[in-house]
Structure 1
């Protein structure tokens, strides 16, 4: 059964949803970017229903300044109080819980790493965000971040082998501005990460994690590609799906749910 509730975080009232179930191992879902707790195309709401039907309670929430929650939106880098308050509210509303596993996609995965230690028993980190400007950053331009050079090369090579790409080029259906940006990126050298850069901080967090973690990557997603290029998640189990879906939409939802249920 699904319940809608609220809880407090530093004086702000935050909105949450509990999919109740009798299990003692529960799932805390963090939405990425500025997505509300239902997720892209209701993906997180459907995931919660699936996991609860398998017997595990699921807690989702809107962080401050997002969706139905009060307060100012400070982005994922300032979400530690929101996460801690959500963990406490989850345990209070599902008192049978012995174990809480957290799942985050994109910058929600990065937040789970950056804000350690948290009162969690395991982490599921999907397509972690490793760009310096976040998907909800004031510094982000309207032009999306490019994937790493290796991914650009692989994509261009695949297109050169596809006759349809040549037809699109001859018809003028190619975005030449985007093409120029991609070709320019191939010639750039990757700069060394400074100790206070986001990739370096993520690497440190992964190396010092106080609980088990699993990384999930959609190999065709540019955020996942950038994470592979920017970070070195040594000794952390990593599972991959051949997909370009950042939010594990469509058939990918079954793959995601299966891995989450395995962790639970």
Structure 2
């Protein structure tokens, strides 16, 4: 970290439990609130969120990361992202209390952390959103979302070597059959409609980030083209990066993500 940057461990209350957080201090009046996806700790996959926080704070913006209930160092029951609105609101309040110079909060999350922000940012009074690869699809077992399956099949149908593999018996027909069956499953509209309604009713700036070849991003892009998002599609910019890395783990991907975060911080 930069010479003038300090990192503090913090505990704050949420629904009768104690949650753990990390604050990278900096003098900026805009702060970055990082929400962790899945069951990841606040350090992030490959320490990606900790490294991002370090760089952003060194550039002058304070950064707050936390573990929701039942994850990492936080007490309580892990009820998943769909029941984490109270955690987000408590984290935003703790950020403001611990960094009183912050007057504006940018919320950033990847995968279902982005979905958490989309659903609950208004009750947490978050001022702007940067949503990476939001989770908008339901999948079963190890089968990717249908939109991702369609994209993979379209890519392979254009590749002569894949036809040769099929003729030689080198294709797992059982896996192929499961993929084809997944295309026939009706899309779950519940989560898509909830997110669409929430962002449509929001007045804060929102930017969507997609890792173009990631399965979750492919499913999100497919949902984004649907009728549910007609009301907001024209006012929410979508920025795509040509990678299959869901967590922007490669050096070039991390640099792209860092640049987008700094742009959003202003």
Q: Map Cα deviations across residues 168-196 of structure 1 (whole Å, 9 max, x no partner).
A: 6577664433222223344x275583xxx
User: Alpha carbon RMSD of aligned pairs, Å?
Assistant: 2.2
Deviation at 1:73, TM superposition (A): 0.6
Deviation at 1:65, TM superposition (A): 0.3
Asked if structure 2 preserves the Cα contact closer than 8 Å seen for 1:102 and 1:120, the reply is yes
Q: Map Cα deviations across residues 95-136 of structure 1 (whole Å, 9 max, x no partner).
A: 111111000111111111112413111000111111247xxx
Aligned CA distance change for structure 1 residues 242 and 78 (closer, same or farther; 3 Å): same
- Residues of 2 paired with 1:123 and 1:5: CA distance? 23
Aligned CA distance change for structure 1 residues 41 and 173 (closer, same or farther; 3 Å): farther
Query: Corresponding residue for 1:258?
Result: 259
Aligned CA distance change for structure 1 residues 112 and 153 (closer, same or farther; 3 Å): closer
Aligned CA distance change for structure 1 residues 45 and 174 (closer, same or farther; 3 Å): farther
Alignment of 1:35-46 (within 5 A): 35-46=40-51
Asked if structure 1 preserves the Cα contact closer than 8 Å seen for 2:143 and 2:182, the reply is no
Please state whether the residue corresponding to 2:213 is helix, strand or coil. Answer: coil
Does structure 1 residue 156 correspond to structure 2 residue 153?
Answer: yes
Does structure 1 residue 52 correspond to structure 2 residue 57?
Answer: yes
Query: Corresponding residue for 1:126?
Result: 132
Please state whether the residue corresponding to 2:239 is helix, strand or coil. Answer: strand
Aligned CA distance change for structure 1 residues 144 and 153 (closer, same or farther; 3 Å): closer
Query: Corresponding residue for 1:137?
Result: none
Query: Corresponding residue for 1:176?
Result: 173
Does structure 1 residue 143 correspond to structure 2 residue 136?
Answer: no
Match of 1:207 among 200, 216, 229: 200
Query: Corresponding residue for 1:100?
Result: 105
Aligned CA distance change for structure 1 residues 160 and 263 (closer, same or farther; 3 Å): same
Please state whether the residue corresponding to 1:246 is helix, strand or coil. Answer: coil
After superposing the two structures, state which structure 1 stretch, 230-239 or 79-88, moved more.
230-239
Q: Map Cα deviations across residues 133-177 of structure 1 (whole Å, 9 max, x no partner).
A: 7xxxxxxx54243341xx434423433454654676577664433
After superposing the two structures, state which structure 1 stretch, 172-181 or 217-226, moved more.
172-181
Structure 2, unmatched stretches of 5+, are 1-5
- Give TM-score scaled by structure 2 length: 0.86
Asked if structure 2 preserves the Cα contact closer than 8 Å seen for 1:114 and 1:205, the reply is yes
After superposing the two structures, state which structure 1 stretch, 224-233 or 49-58, moved more.
224-233
Query: Corresponding residue for 2:3?
Result: none
- Residues of 1 paired with 2:187 and 2:142: CA distance? 21
Match of 1:31 among 36, 44, 54: 36
Query: Corresponding residue for 1:91?
Result: 96
Asked if structure 2 preserves the Cα contact closer than 8 Å seen for 1:4 and 1:15, the reply is yes
Structure 1, unmatched stretches of 5+, are 134-140
- Residues of 2 paired with 1:153 and 1:144: CA distance? 12
Asked if structure 1 preserves the Cα contact closer than 8 Å seen for 2:137 and 2:145, the reply is no
What is the number of equivalent residue pairs in this alignment?
Answer: 251
Asked if structure 1 preserves the Cα contact closer than 8 Å seen for 2:138 and 2:188, the reply is no
Q: Map Cα deviations across residues 15-50 of structure 1 (whole Å, 9 max, x no partner).
A: 111111111111000000111101111111111111
